[in-house]
Amino acid sequence: MCCKFLSQSRILLIALLFVLGDGVLAEEVVSQATDAVVETAPVTTPEAVPAAAPKAEAPAAPETKTAELLEMLQQQQQQLTKLEQSLAELQQSGTETAQAQQEQIKTQQELIDEQRKTIRSMQASIDQLKLFDPNQLSDEEVAYRNRLETLEDSIAQSQESSSTIIDTESFPSSIPIPGTAAAIRIGGFVKANMALSFDTIGSQDSFIVGTIPTNEQDQGESAVNLTVSQSRLNFDLRDKTQLGALRAFIEADFAGEGDVFRLRHAYGQFRDFLIGKTDSTFSDAGARPEELDFEGINGEINVRQTQIRYFPKIGKDWNLLLSLEDPQPEINNGEGITQNPDVVISIRRDWFERWHIKTGLLLRRIRASWDIDPDVKDDTNGWAISLSGKTAIRLWHPNDNFLFQLNGGRGYGRYINDLNSISEVDGGQDAVFNPNGKLKALPVFSGYLSFQHWWNEALRSTFITSFVNVNTFDFQPENAYDNTQRLSGNLIWSPSSRVDLGSELIWGKRKDKNNASGSAVQLQMSAKYRF
């Protein structure tokens, strides 16, 4: 009935994660540590337990250097090692009364809490480095500081369920739940956004390329829209059990019709299993560029749906991801029938803390009824492959990066951001019935390229080019969606780690099967505060 401390290698790695934030997912870094898990162990009297490690106070002046903090972490590790050795001896010596055990559990829990406070204090000390003029820091300290700037984004990405390890210790800003081994974190952001459209576009508060009108009579009107509906709220709970760590995550925004609270993520996670609603396994959050536009890139794989996912770690750098997902087929001139789950097989690989590569295979069996004659039903196969990645480009700044994604296949249109967004207006882009009532899967090719440059430690820009191409059939109408193109560039300033102020200029063009086309330009400005 007594807590046994994590092994020293895991504790040290978690502490170093806060100091050296690596820019990759927090869980992936922690997963390289030992497999120590919270268990139960007998304890004895308080006299046998070493005193709590000395608390590291946050520096009163910004002269504290990273090397000093690392030395303090090493001292803390030595204290934890002694404590662990002592507990091991106590475990072998037998147990006392149940009352004594309960007293020891309480005492040792206080030691754990004190150690967590120490690490948080060190994190606060590192935050003081942001007050420095970069010219006063060594190259190594500048590198640490730059990596710390992106740690919050790495933690945010871990909430997108792409990790394979649930770690309850490296859980910053969490609140312990009294009487349990669980902790909860409340997060999200408040975002105010203004979209100024210089041309007619069907989306008022975002830039959906597929809604650009191709009829000249509908073009030429400008509009402005201000909203806070993109703001989000999430709850992340992690718990320790005898079987392993558990996680529950739920997130919503206000982007529903009339600013209605809208569910984005809701899933539970245990070891290498995830069940619930979140980003499709076919998508890649690790290769997603930073944007202000709420809609996002037209050619990106971007869909959230209910799924059952298994994602074991293979060796040190490989991840295998398998999932069964809600199909919800979208048919151009018919009604989709949900009969067979979509199957996703994906492999993710990271090299040298610099390259991130993910490949994915999607297999579908699409079934639908025909609008002209609902009694006519047909099936067809759908499939797609995706290749995405991210790499550092350190010619000008250590945080500069290049991202890409390429997708191709048949019958997977709803997975493409732009095609999924226009399905209610243009009809689904998974498949279409021909004049004979036969269901045909639509071929689609899409992708994007992105480059992010950091002008200094608080100012950065992301430039993106993307496309979607649908190979329409001869029997489809002349105004059927054929292709779209999108270009964007932004400038984002972060006066503090919690605040982003930015602007983004977006250009897009839609072309139909009959070569009719239309283009639009939109300027977006936003202010975001993370909590």
Name all domains of the chain by residue range, CATH numbers in brackets: 8-148 (no CATH), 272-523 (2.40.160)
Q: What is the mean pLDDT of residues 471-492?
A: 96
Lowest mean pLDDT among 86-95, 199-208, 380-389: 86-95
pLDDT of residue 131: 43
Say yes or no to pLDDT of 17 above 60: no
Nearest to 162 by CA among 245, 34, 282: 282
- Place 159 in a pLDDT band, splitting at 50, 70 and 90: very low
Say yes or no to pLDDT of 336 above 70: yes
Q: How many CB atoms lie within 10 A of CB 526?
A: 22
- Place 73 in a pLDDT band, splitting at 50, 70 and 90: low
pLDDT of residue 147: 47
Please name the residues in contact with 94: beta carbons below 8 A apart, sequence gap of 6 or more. Answer: 42, 44
Please name the residues in contact with 403: beta carbons below 8 A apart, sequence gap of 6 or more. Answer: 287, 288, 289, 388, 389, 390, 448, 449, 450, 451, 452
Q: How many CB atoms lie within 10 A of CB 322?
A: 15
pLDDT in tens, 103-130: 665 566 567 566 656 655 655 555 454 4
What percent of the chain is predicted at pLDDT more than 70?
A: 67
- In what helix (H) or strand (E) does residue 156 lie, and over which residues does it extend? helix 151-158
Nearest to 508 by CA among 203, 290, 143: 203
pLDDT of residue 317: 82
Q: Is the dihedral of CA 58, 64, 70, 72 positive or negative?
A: negative
Lowest mean pLDDT among 75-89, 240-254, 288-302, 396-410: 75-89
For residue 234, what are its two tokens?
């999430």
Say yes or no to pLDDT of 480 above 70: yes
Whether 366 contacts 341, CB under 8 Å: no
- How many Cα atoms within 13 Å fall on the side-chain side of residue 216? 2
pLDDT of residue 62: 41
Burial class (CB in 10 A: 0-12, 13-18, 19+), 61: exposed
pLDDT in tens, 185-194: 999 999 999 9
pLDDT in tens, 405-445: 999 999 999 999 999 999 988 899 999 999 999 999 999 99
pLDDT of residue 104: 63
pLDDT in tens, 286-334: 999 999 999 999 999 999 999 999 999 888 788 999 999 999 999 999 9
pLDDT of residue 181: 85
pLDDT of residue 305: 96
pTM score, two decimals? Answer: 0.70
331, amino acid identity: I
Q: What is the mean pLDDT of residues 382-390?
A: 97
Terminal CA-to-CA distance of the chain, rounded, Å?
Answer: 36
Q: What is the mean pLDDT of residues 30-46?
A: 33
Dihedral-angle region of residue 483 (phi above 0 means left; psi in -120 to 50 means alpha; beta otherwise) = beta
Q: Where are the beta strands (DSSP E) in 202-341?
A: 223-227, 232-241, 244-253, 262-270, 273-279, 304-310, 313-314, 318-325, 334-337
* Bridge partners, 507 (sequence order): 487, 521
Nearest to 437 by CA among 485, 380, 522, 482: 380
- Place 80 in a pLDDT band, splitting at 50, 70 and 90: low
pLDDT of residue 118: 67
Please name the residues in contact with 408: beta carbons below 8 A apart, sequence gap of 6 or more. Answer: 384, 385, 444, 445, 446
